[in-house]
Amino acid sequence: MNSSVLAGAATAPAKLAMPVTTDSLLQRPNEHCSFVIFGASGDLTRRKLIPALYNLACAGLLPEGFHVYGFAVTPMDDEGFREAMGQAIRESHEATSFDARVWNQFAKGLHYITADFLSPEGYQQLLQRLTTAEQASNAPANRLFYLATQPSFYADIVERLGSSGLANKTPNGPNWSRCIIEKPFGHDLPSASALNTSIHEVFLEDQIYRIDHYLGKENVQNIMAFRFANSIIEPIWNRRYVDHIQITAAETLGVEHRGGYYEEAGALRDMFQNHLLQLLAIVCMEPPVRYQGSSVRDRKADVLRAMVPINPESLADIAVRGQYGPGIVEERNVIGYRQEPNVRPNSNTETFVALKLMVDNWRWADVPFYLRSGKRMPAKVTEIVIQFKRVPHLFFQLGQDDQMEPNLLTMRIAPDEGIALRFSAKVPGPEMHLRPVQMNFNYADAFNVKPATAYETLLLDAMIGDSTLFNRADQVEAAWGVLEPLIDIWAASKPFQPFPNYASGTWGPPAADALIARDGRSWRNYSVTSATHPVRHATAHVEHTGEPIGARRNRGDSGTKRE
């Protein structure tokens, strides 16, 4: 895998989305390859794939003679494709600043084929163009195929890649073929299993790269570094010291133009089967034998297999679904889900889910994992919160206003990637008063760079042949297996409360608060204002999370206030 993995080491080389330097940890592929995008006229190509490839070009990390072949039904020629992608780069928030010199060189390698995904003629045209270019440059037929289409086309495209001679069963070495497949991979467990069987008829498992862009995020990768590269962390990463773990993925956006897709998917399929269960697996996994594809993915699969099956009889105690109604987000009025384009006016599709899950193994027995994800929330945030158990005995003679908060470790995936640790400290003065304080590590400040986008990392890994950050067939099926009972029950029943059951701009339905409150716990709701006041140091910088000391003295009382 090709990213910086040292947590908190400010002197470590960092991944750059700019001209590459000699101390970059990114590895440039040493083999020629052609990159074929099926669905090249779509939103994913314009917003994510081409900007990521352009960033790699700016960093000098694309292989020699790199070419991109777009394949889609939308009529376009090579020049039209280049113009459209150039405009996408100029409008992108993720692309490096537009550099005409780099773009002109990169654009020469952009090509386009107008064809139907089911038409054999289009595949023959693609084969001819690839073969001609490879022979002209005396390059091997190394081909990386990216399926950025509707999932219903995946099996058909792969079958035609095999029957046309475009792909072979060679994962490495000269003339290799590899295939990147976007989520969702299947609609449920039977469809995911059937899709795996179909794809395995053309590609070996080592050639298949099931992409989950969350796994390319820097701080997701940093979870393993933080756990396994620091001797003070791993000994307390277990049921003896951890009270519970929360994983939140909240969005301020609604479904926007994806109403048709979301009506079929919903939050459970869109976020939990892939993103959130992958985060849980990384948090819970045992140490791998080595940092490489099979070893890491073996340990993640173990976690998914150890998940306690969802009991339909206790569903109300462990699962909550919701749908947003009209409300206020970021100081503007927004419509409800049922008013979104391509959404049924009486839709019961969930836009919010909260789950309580358990992992039945030696390390995590009896530790609850609370997962939630929703749209139209007050803040856009993805974070993992590990709350540790309280001290067994507190011998301080504290005042009535003193508050002892449990230790809290927060791993921020987005925004403001970093890690924060909350602990108790004595307030300066002659008396013993305790106050929660927070120590922060911030990626941007520690390494003085903007982390590479997830797609940059993942596309480069696929070119090199590193599958560490991609999902394997058994992982995908195990994740579907965890959620299968819930999918079936929710599909066959109406929600307990009529939808919509939470207003846009709130943290979900009241039932989600009740789910965690029944265990004597509460959600950690990200403060919108905290995002505007980031801590500026990655080393031992401590910020007070309670009331300012001066305010306490001015009141003439003692103790501290709760965060």
pTM recorded for the entire structure: 0.86
Catalytic positions, written as ranges: 275
Question: What's the average model confidence in pLDDT over 91-115?
Answer: 92
Asked if the structure places residue 199 within a domain, the reply is yes
Asked if the structure places residue 187 within a domain, the reply is yes
Residues 225, 206 share a domain:
no
Residue 556: partners with Cβ closer than 8 Å, 6 or more residues away: none
Q: What is the CATH number of the domain that holds 133?
A: 3.40.50.720
Residues 182, 251 share a domain:
no
Measuring CA to CA, how many Å separate 235 from each of 240, 282, 345, 363?
10, 16, 52, 11
Model confidence at 15: pLDDT above 50? no
Last residue of a domain, one of 154, 187, 210: 210
Query: How confident is residue 30, by pLDDT bands cut at 50, 70 and 90?
Result: confident
Asked if the structure places residue 12 within a domain, the reply is no
Residues 284, 189 share a domain:
no
Confirm if 10 and 539 have CB atoms less than 8 A apart.
yes
Residue 210: partners with Cβ closer than 8 Å, 6 or more residues away: 180, 181, 183, 185, 470, 471, 472, 473, 476
- Give per-residue pLDDT as tens, 48-80: 999 999 999 999 999 988 999 999 999 999 999
Residues 193, 80 share a domain:
yes
Model confidence at 448: pLDDT above 90? no
Last residue of a domain, one of 160, 192, 210: 210
Q: What is the CATH number of the domain that holds 445?
A: 3.30.360.10
Model confidence at 544: pLDDT above 80? no
Residues 513, 536 share a domain:
yes
- Give per-residue pLDDT as tens, 143-172: 999 999 999 999 999 999 999 999 999 999
Asked if the structure places residue 26 within a domain, the reply is no
Token couple for 39 = 């669905």
CA atoms of 266 and 373, how far apart (whole Å): 11
- Give per-residue pLDDT as tens, 229-276: 999 999 999 999 999 999 999 999 999 888 888 998 999 999 999 999
Residues 225, 105 share a domain:
no
Length of the chain: 563
Query: Which pairing describes strands 434-442 and 542-544: parallel, antiparallel, or unpaired?
Result: antiparallel
Asked if the structure places residue 384 within a domain, the reply is yes
Confirm if 243 and 520 have CB atoms less than 8 A apart.
no
Token couple for 156 = 């058909």
Query: How confident is residue 5, by pLDDT bands cut at 50, 70 and 90?
Result: very low
Burial class (CB in 10 A: 0-12, 13-18, 19+), 31: middle
Confirm if 302 and 294 have CB atoms less than 8 A apart.
no
Which of helix, strand or coil describes residue 390? Answer: coil
Distance of CA 479 to the CA centre of its chain: 15
Asked if the structure places residue 554 within a domain, the reply is no
Residues 311, 163 share a domain:
no
Which of helix, strand or coil describes residue 462? Answer: helix
Residues 200, 101 share a domain:
yes
Q: For the chain, what is the domain count?
A: 2
Residues 235, 144 share a domain:
no
Domain membership of residue 133 as a residue range: 34-172+176-210
Read off the DSSP letter of residue 214.
G
Question: What's the average model confidence in pLDDT over 217-229?
Answer: 90
Residues 220, 192 share a domain:
no
Residues 234, 98 share a domain:
no
Asked if the structure places residue 24 within a domain, the reply is no
Asked if the structure places residue 454 within a domain, the reply is yes
Residues 225, 200 share a domain:
no
Kindly state the percentage of the chain with pLDDT values over 70: 88
36 strand-pairing partners = 69, 145
